[in-house]
């Protein structure tokens, strides 16, 4: 199981850090599923989703590096990030349906996080908000894929 450390979300940097942890956790979960021989029927889908979440992490790093400047360093207040922390402890020996259900729940939490933080980001940086909205949509598409397994 991957170790993820989710911060309080009080700054733009900590929101991105939280998102990076979500992506890291998702990559680890899908990688684990892809390697599980019991879940071989879904292996290609899991691999593709692991790669997709890795790419999302790269996009977040890029956003933090390129888009931050002094004018948008406003504090973020009253965002309780604890409710977005997903369960990343993948069930051992699960069948494909159970694995899909687990991953779908993880994608839903992630979609909630991106959906809600995009509202904060809109006030700070519209480019970041657009990226977060896109991430949330992708999460929901991933959820549908997982539920169809």
Partner 1 sequence: MSALAEVKKDWGKVQNFVNGEWVDSTTKNWLDVKNPATTGTIAKVPLSTKDEMNAAIEAAQEAWWAWRETPPVSRARLMFNLKHIMEREFENVARIISQEQGKTIDDARGETRRCVENIEVASSVTTLQMGYNLEDGAAANIDEEVIISPLGVFGAVCPFNFPGMVPFWFWPYAVATGNTFIVKPSEQVPLTTQYMFKMIEEAGFPPGVVNLVNGREDAVNALFEHKNVRGISFVGSTPVAKWIYKRAGETGKRVQAQGGAKNSLVVMPDAVMDKTVNNMLASFYGCAGQRCLAGSNLIGVGDVAEPLLKKFVEASKKLKVGYGLDESSNMGPVISEAAKKKVLGYIDLGVKEGAKLLLDGRNIKVPGYEKGYFVGPTVFDDVTPDMKIAKEEIFGPVVSFLRMKNLDEAIEFIHSSPFGNAASIYTQNGKWARDFRYRTQCGNIGINVGIVAAMAYFPFAGAKDSFFGSLHGQGQDAVSFYTDRKVVITRWF
**By C-beta, is 50 or 125 nearer to partner 1?**
125
Applying CB under 8 A, the span of 42-50, 71-79, 89-97, 103-111 interacting with partner 1 comes to: 71-79
Output the CA angle 40-44-47, nearest 5 degrees.
110
Applying CB under 8 A, the span of 37-45, 69-77, 83-91, 94-102 interacting with partner 1 comes to: 69-77
Identify which of 52, 16, 21, 46 has the alpha carbon closest to the alpha carbon of residue 31. Answer: 46
Dist. CA 30–CA 48, nearest whole Å: 9
**By C-beta, is 6 or 114 nearer to partner 1?**
6
Identify which of 69, 84, 44 has the alpha carbon closest to the alpha carbon of residue 125. Answer: 69
CB of 74 to partner 1, least distance (A): 5
Among 4, 48, 59, 68, indicate the residue that binds partner 1 (CB under 8 A): 68
Give 41's DSSP letter: G
Within 1-30, the residues that bind partner 1 by CB under 8 A are: 5-14, 17
Longest CA–CA span in the chain (Å) reads 51
CB of 143 to partner 1, least distance (A): 27
Among 119, 123, 137, 141, indicate the residue that binds partner 1 (CB under 8 A): 123
Dist. CA 109–CA 111, nearest whole Å: 5
Among 35, 41, 58, 74, indicate the residue that binds partner 1 (CB under 8 A): 74
Helix (H) or strand (E) holding 78: none
CA 47 to chain centre: 16
Which residues here bind partner 1, judged by CB under 8 A?
5-14, 17, 64-66, 68-71, 73-75, 77-78, 123
């Amino acid at each position: 199981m991957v170790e993820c450390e989710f911060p309080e979300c009080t700054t733009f940097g900590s929101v991105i850090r939280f998102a990076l942890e979500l992506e890291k956790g998702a990559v680890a979960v899908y990688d684990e599923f892809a390697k599980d021989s019991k879940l071989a029927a879904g292996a290609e889908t899991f691999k593709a989703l692991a790669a997709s979440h890795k790419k999302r992490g790269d996009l977040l790093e890029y956003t933090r590096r390129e888009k931050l400047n002094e004018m948008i360093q406003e504090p973020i207040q009253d965002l309780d990030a604890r409710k977005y922390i997903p369960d990343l402890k993948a069930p051992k020996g699960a069948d494909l349906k159970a694995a899909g259900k687990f991953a779908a729940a993880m994608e839903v939490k992630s979609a909630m996080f991106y959906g809600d933080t995009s509202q904060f980001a809109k006030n700070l940086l519209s480019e970041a908000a657009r990226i977060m909205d896109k991430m949330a949509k992708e999460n929901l598409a991933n959820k549908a894929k997982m539920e169809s397994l």
